[in-house]
Amino acid sequence: MPLTGALAAPPARRQSPVPRAIGAAAAAALREELRTDPKPGLVGPRDRGAHRDMNARTFLASIAALRGYFDAVARGGMEGAPLAALRALALDAEARMLLATGGVNTHRGAIFTIGLLAAAAGQLQAERAGFDAAALRDTLRRRFGPAILRELPLAVASHGAIVRRRHGVGGARAEAAAGFPHLFEVALPALDGSLRRGAPRCAAAVHSLMSAVAVLPDTNLLYRGGARGLAFARAAARDFLAAGSVHRSGWKEHARAVHREFVARNLSPGGSADLLAGALFVDRLRALEGPRESGG
């Protein structure tokens, strides 16, 4: 005799499609960042930049290995998961990345940066709010900022830790706790402004990246080139922007010349690349449509 009425098993709750959409936006942003060209010192579609241990194929393998991670942290944000639970997801994603790349760190910064942004988007989804930039940043600071400073351990042997001791910069941890000011106040407005001026997306991404390089105390640049390397990179980016950036003829030749100079000096602005990927992700989030149902 079948169970009916009060004894029947409750129907399965319908899973919200939004975490999957957030995850797809994150993967698309990482692929778009990889395709951006020219990028000073960074791995791109043409060459490996200032890196000897990775190329575009390495990045594509890494992006594939991260499949499902951004969905999971977005769902965690929807469900109010604590930072410790999200960190466990990030550490698992990092292990998958390293396995796929043979131990090469391609996306550790993106796992951290875009992971937190995806979790903040999930929180907004639970609140039935839209994914505008101001709401994302406010949610990230309110929901995760104190926990980032309180709970995330300060690494002692990483490149960022070495730079922090040598140069007294805060790095990604401090940037995240403050709600990624260089992302929301520099990289994203630069991307938006360039698109409004009619630049193609790839060109607007170059403008966004150069805008970040010009001002960010990029720990990758400091580790590779010290204070002089950072100063050189900032000056080169500022010269590119002052000359008209991507909104002029000949900009690609100028950008490729900057790229060659970075490679010759073994400079790679990885922190700025993470900001570009984050800006591209936020831009894609804002384009998501559909009802803000709170299932999950």
User: What is the 3-class SS of the chain, one letter each residue?
Assistant: CCCCHHHCCCCCCCCCCHHHHHHHHHHHHHHHHHHCCCCCCCCCCCCCCCCCCCCHHHHHHHHHHCCCHHHHHHHHHHCCCCHHHHHHHHHHHHHHHHHHHCCCCCCHHHHHHHHHHHHHHHHHHHCCCCCCHHHHHHHHHHHHHHHHHHHCCCCCCCHHHHHHHHHCCCHHHHHHHCCCHHHHHHHHHHHHHHHHCCCCHHHHHHHHHHHHHCCCCCHHHHHHHHHHHHHHHHHHHHHHHHCCCCCCCCHHHHHHHHHHHHHHCCCCCHHHHHHHHHHHHHHHHHCCCCCCCCCC
Reported as a single tens digit per residue, the pLDDT across 229-265 is: 999 999 999 999 999 999 999 999 999 999 999 999 9
Mean pLDDT of 205-230: 95
d(CA 194, CA 282): 15
Statement: residue 162 has pLDDT above 90:
no
192 vs 220, which has greater pLDDT?
192
Burial 246-260 (b: 16+ CB within 10 A, else e): beeeebeebbeebbe
Percent of the chain with pLDDT over 70: 86
pLDDT tier at 183, thresholds 50, 70, 90: very high
In the block, residue with structure tokens 């060109």: 203
Q: How many CB atoms lie within 10 A of CB 4?
A: 7
Q: What residues have CB less than 8 Å from 52, skipping those under 6 apart?
A: none
Counting Cβ atoms within 10 Å, is residue 95 exposed (0-12), middle (13-18) or buried (19+)?
exposed
pLDDT tier at 169, thresholds 50, 70, 90: low
> Which amino acid is residue 194, in one-letter code?
S
Q: What is the pLDDT of residue 151?
A: 80
Q: What residues have CB less than 8 Å from 169, skipping those under 6 apart?
A: 163, 217, 219, 222
Reported as a single tens digit per residue, the pLDDT across 110-122 is: 999 999 999 999 9
Closest by Cα among 17, 201, 216, 200 to 113: 216
The domain ranges of the chain are 16-286
